[in-house]
A and B are shown apart, each in its own frame.
Chain A
Amino acid sequence: MLEIVEDAKARSMNDVKGRHVLVTLILFALLTVVLTWPVTWRIDRVLIGDDYDVYIHMWANWWTRKTIERGLDFYHTDYIFFPQETSLAFFSFNHVNTVSWLLLTPLTGRVAAYNVTMLLVYTLSGFSMYMLVHHLTDSRRAGFVAGLVFAFCPYHTYESAHPSLAAMQWMPLFVLSLRRILHDPDAGRLKQPILGALWFLLNALSGWHLMLMLMGWAALYLLVEYWANRESWVATAPRRLLLLVGFIAITIAPFAWPIAHDYLTTDATFATVEIQEGLGNDLLSFFVPHQRHPFLGSFFAGIHDEIGYASRRPAYLGWGAVGLVAWAVAAEGRRCRVWLLLGLVFALLSLGLQIEVAGTAILPLRFPWAGPIVQVLRHPYRLNTLVSLSLAVLAGIGTESLCHWVTLRSRPLAKAGPTLVSSVLLLEYLVYPFPTTEPIDSPFVRQLAEESGDFAVADFPMGRQPDKRYMFYQTIHEKKMLGGHVSRAPDNAYAFVAGDSLLGPLLAEKAPDPGLDTRKHLASLAAYDVRYILLHQDLLDGEGQRAWRARLRSFPAPFYEDSSLIAYRTLPHLRVEDVTAGGERRVDVHIGDHIQLLGYRVDAGESSADDEVRVTLFWQSDGELSKSYHVFVHLVSERGRLVAQHDGIPMWGSLQPGAGGRRRSYRMNTH
C-alpha cells in the first residue's frame, strides 16, 4: 500500500515537473518573440541579424541543400571563386540550424524558416540555462533569471547575425551533464556520458568555434573543479569522464575528419590570422549599455564612439546582473568560486592583446596568450559567450540567495522579487528594434535564375564584404560566381580575376588598359563560361557610380540596367535580326534541344575561287545539350542525289553535353 502511494506521489511530482518545464519553455518562447520584436511581425520579410554575414548563412543553407539534391562534394566547390575549386573547410557552417531550416522551409518559406530557427536559438538558450541553474540551485526563479541573462545579454543579441556563434544553447546542457558526471551518484554509468557527448556534438555542429570554446572551457573547468571540489566527486567520476571523452571522440570524428584532412594535406598558411586583426573587448564595453538600447543608447553615444568597434560588439554585462553576481559572491562565496574564477579568466582572455579603456591601451603590457586565441577564434571578444555562461549561473545563484534573504524579512516582497529582478535585467538588455537585415532582391537576378545553362557571373565591386551579398543572390540565380567568401579564404581565391587583364584592374577598382580590345576580351571570358559582368551600383554612392562608369567606358552597351545593377553580357545574345551584317541570310530553325540556327552564308560559283562552296552557319545554344551533336552540310543535285557533304563538330567549342565541355551561346561554323 505504501509503495502504491509513493509511486502515485512520484508520478504526481513528475507531472508537476513536466508541467513546469513546459511552462518555462513557453515562457522563454514568448519572451523571445517580445525581445526580438519586430522579427516575428516581419518573419518572412527580414532576416534576423544586422550584418552582411546573414547572407552567407543563408548561402550555407542553400549550399547544403544543393549538395544533398545533386550529390555534390560538400566541402569543395567551384560555385564560388570560379573557375577554381575552393575548400569550404573554413566556412562558418551551422549544420544544426541548417537541418532545422531544411525541415521548416517547405512549411514557411526560406526566409521565415531562417528566422524561426534563429528564434529557437534564443528560446533554447534561455531554457537550457534554466535547466542548468535549476539543477544547481533547485530553484525555478534562479533558473529563470539565469536563462534571461544567458539568452538576452547584448552580446548574444549582436551575434544574431552569426548563427555559428549565437547557437550556444547546447553549452549549458553539456555543463549540466558534466556536473552530474562529477557529482551525481544517481546519474548512471552511461546516461550522462552519452548525453554529454550528444550536447557536445550538437554544439560542435552548430559551429566549430563554439566547439573549441567549449573544449577550452571544459578543460579549465575540470582543473578548477579538481582543485576546489575534488572531495565531492563521486567515485565513478573518472571512469564516466573517460567514457564521455570516448563518446565525444567517436561522434565528432566523422564530421571533423574532412576539415582536419584539408588542413593537414594542403598549405594552410593562409588560415593564419595576424594578431592585430583579432579584436578584443574594451574594458568599458562590459559596463556600457547596448547602443541600440531605446532609452540608454543615445545617452552613452559618446562613450560608444570612444570605444569604437567594441560598441558594435557589445559585451555589456548589465548592472543588475553584476549586482546579483556581487550578492552571490558575498553571500555564497564558496559555492560561487569555480564560476567566478572561470568568468574572470575568460573575461581577461576576451580583452585581446592589451587592456584598453575607451579605445586606449592603459598598460604597455601585451598578453602572450592573445596570439593563440586569435589563431583559433580570430576575435578574442568571442569569448563573451563563456563570460555570459558564468555571469548567468552566478546571477541565478545571486537571485536565489537574495530571494531567500528577502523572504526572511518580507514575504510579499519576496514574492515580487523574481519579477522585479527579471524586469530590471530585461530593461537593461532591451534592444529595439532588434537588428535585422532586409533580404536583397533584383529582377535581373530572378531573370538570371530562369536562364538555362551552367555559366558564371562576375560581380563588382568585388571583395570580402560585398561578395557575401552576391552569395545571397547566388541562392536565387544558382549560377557560379567569380568572387565569394569563406572565413579564411585561400591566398589564390581571386587568382583568376586578378590575373585577367580586364577583370584584374576592376578587382583593384582601376580602369583596364585603354589599349585592351574589350569586346574581344569579353569573348575570351565567354570561353571560360563567364557570361555576365555585373556592376552592383546600389552599393555605390554617386561618386562611386561615376567612377565605375568611367572604368567600364570601353564596355559594349549594357544587356540590362536598373537602379540596382548593370549587367554586361560577355557575348551579345544573338537575335535572328542581327544576322545580316555580312550578307548573311536569316533563318530561324530550332534543332534538337537548345540549338537555334539563326542564319547562314553560302559563297559559291563565280565568287568562289577554285570551285569551292563555302557555307557559314550561325548557331546559338541556349542551354546544356543532352546529346553530342555534329553538323552536316549536304549538296544535293537536281535529281535528289547527294553529291557532296561535309560533317564536323561545331567549331569554337565542343558543344558536348554534360559537365566536361565548354558551352557557348554563339558560334559560327564554316564548312
Chain B
Amino acid sequence: MLDESFPDGEYTVYAGMYDFSTKARATAVTSDGKTLPDGAVLLETIEIDHE
C-alpha cells in the first residue's frame, strides 16, 4: 500500500534476493551474461497518480 503523502510521479520497481544471514545481495546475471548492479532487477516503471 502506498502512503497518501506519496508524491505523484514515476517510480521504478526493482526486485532481487539477498542472503538473510549476511544481508548480502545475491548476484543477478541476465541471460546475455550482464551482471546487474546491486543484484537488483529492474521490472517496470509505473506512474503514481493519487487523483
Interface on A for B, CB 8 Å cutoff?
585, 587-592, 595, 597, 600, 602, 604-605, 610-613, 615, 617, 627-638, 643-644, 649, 671
B residues within 8 A CB of A590? 28-31
List the 4 closest pairs (A to B, CB-CB), nearest first.
Answer: A592-B26, A588-B31, A611-B2, A629-B17
Q: Tell me the chain B residues, 1-51 only, with Cβ under 8 Å from chain A.
A: 1-4, 6-7, 9-21, 26-31, 36, 39-41, 43-44, 46-50
**Alpha-carbon separation in the docked complex, A591 to B30 (Å):** 9
Please determine whether A612 and B29 come into contact, CB atoms closer than 8 angstroms: no
User: CB < 8 Å: which of B10, B13, B43, B50 contacts A638?
Assistant: B10
B46 near A591 with CB under 8 A, answer no
A-B contact pairs, 30 of them (CB 8 A): A587-B43, A590-B28, A590-B30, A591-B16, A591-B29, A595-B17, A600-B15, A611-B4, A613-B2, A627-B21, A627-B26, A628-B21, A629-B20, A630-B18, A631-B16, A631-B17, A632-B17, A633-B14, A633-B15, A635-B2, A635-B13, A636-B11, A636-B13, A637-B7, A637-B10, A637-B11, A638-B11, A643-B11, A649-B20, A671-B15
B31 touches A629 (CB 8 A): no
Nearest Cβ on chain A to B39's Cβ, whole angstroms: 7
Main secondary structure, interface of A, reads strand
Query: In the complex, what's the smallest C-beta–C-beta distance from A642 to chain B, in angstroms?
Result: 9
Measured CA separation A321–B29 after assembly (Å): 76
Identify B41's interface contact among A587, A610, A628, CB under 8 A.
A587
Inter-subunit contact B43/A600 (CB<8 Å):
yes
With A591-B28, A612-B2, A638-B10: A631-B15 Cβ-Cβ less than 8 Å: yes
Chain B, Cβ-Cβ closest to A636: B12
- How many angstroms between the C-alpha atoms of A617 and B26 in the bound complex? 16
Q: Which residues of chain A come closer than 8 Å to B15, judged between CB atoms? A: 597, 600, 615, 617, 631-634, 671
Chain A residues with Cβ below 8 Å from B11 are 635-638, 643
Q: Is the CB of B50 within 8 A of A613?
A: no
Q: Which residue of A lies closest to B21 (CB)?
A: A628
A645's closest neighbor in chain B, by CB?
Answer: B14
Looking at the assembled complex, report how far the CB atom of B30 sits from the nearest CB atom of chain A, in whole angstroms. 5
Is B14 touching A634 in the complex (CB atoms < 8 A)?
Answer: yes
Chain A: which residue is nearest B1 at the CB level?
A612
Among B1, B16, B17: residue with most chain A CB under 10 A = B17
Whether A602 contacts B44 in the complex (CB less than 8 A), given A589-B29, A591-B39, A630-B18, comes out as yes
| Complex: chain B residue closest to A649, CB-CB | B20
Q: Which residues of A contact B29 (CB under 8 A)?
A: 589-591
Interface residue ranges, B against A (CB under 8 Å): 1-4, 6-7, 9-21, 26-31, 36, 39-41, 43-44, 46-50
Report the Cα distance A636→B7, complex, angstroms. Answer: 12
A604 CA to B46 CA in the complex, in Å? Answer: 7
List 14 extra interface pairs beyond A597-B15, A644-B2, CB under 8 A: A587-B41, A589-B29, A592-B17, A611-B2, A613-B13, A627-B20, A627-B26, A630-B20, A631-B15, A635-B11, A635-B12, A637-B10, A638-B10, A643-B6
Q: Are the C-beta atoms of A633 and B13 separated by less than 8 Å? A: yes
For B26, give the chain A residue with the smallest CB separation: A592
Whole-angstrom distance from the CB of A564 to the nearest CB of chain B?
34
Nearest-CB residue, chain B, relative to A590: B29
A597 to B36, CA, bound (A): 13
Contact A630 B6 (CB under 8 A): no
The chain A residue with its CB closest to the CB of B39 is A591
Contacts of B46 in A (CB 8 A): 602, 604-605, 613
Rounded to whole Å, the gap between the CB of B3 and the closest CB of chain A is 8
List chain B residues, Cβ under 8 A from A635: 2, 11-13
| Min CB gap A636→B, angstroms | 5
Q: Find out whether the CB atom of B19 lies under 8 angstroms from the CB atom of A634.
A: no
B43 to chain A, nearest CB (A): 5
Residues of B within 8 A of A613 (CB): 2, 13, 46
Inter-chain CA distance A612–B14, complex, in Å, is: 16
Minimum CB distance partner of A642 in chain B? B14
B19 touching A589 by the CB < 8 A rule? Answer: no
* A633 surroundings in chain B (CB, below 8 A): 13-15
> How close is A537's CB to chain B, nearest CB, in angstroms?
37
Report yes or no: B40 in contact with A629, Cβ–Cβ below 8 A.
no
- The reply to whether A589 and B36 contact each other, CB–CB distance below 8 Å, is yes
Is B13 a contact partner of A634 (Cβ separation < 8 A)? yes
A627/B19 contact (C-beta < 8 A), A597-B41, A634-B13 known: yes
Task: Closest A residue to B48 by CB, please name it.
Answer: A605
**For residue B6, which residue of chain A has the nearest CB?**
A643
Which of chain B's residues has its CB closest to A596's CB? B31
Chain A residues closer than 8 Å to B6, beta-carbon distance:
611, 643-644
Q: How far is the CB of B42 from chain A (nearest CB, A)?
A: 9
Residue of A with least CB distance to B25: A632
Specify which of A605, A610, A630 is in contact with B47 (CB 8 Å cutoff): A605
A602 with B13, Cβ < 8 A, contacts A589-B28, A611-B2 known: yes
Give the residues in chain A near B26, CB-CB below 8 Å: 591-592, 595, 627, 629
Docked-complex contact B50 and A611, CB < 8 angstroms: yes
How far is A590 from B27 in the complex, measured between Cα atoms in Å? 8
Query: Which residue on chain A has the smallest CB distance to residue B38?
Result: A634
Give the docked Cα–Cα distance between A602 and B29 (Å): 21
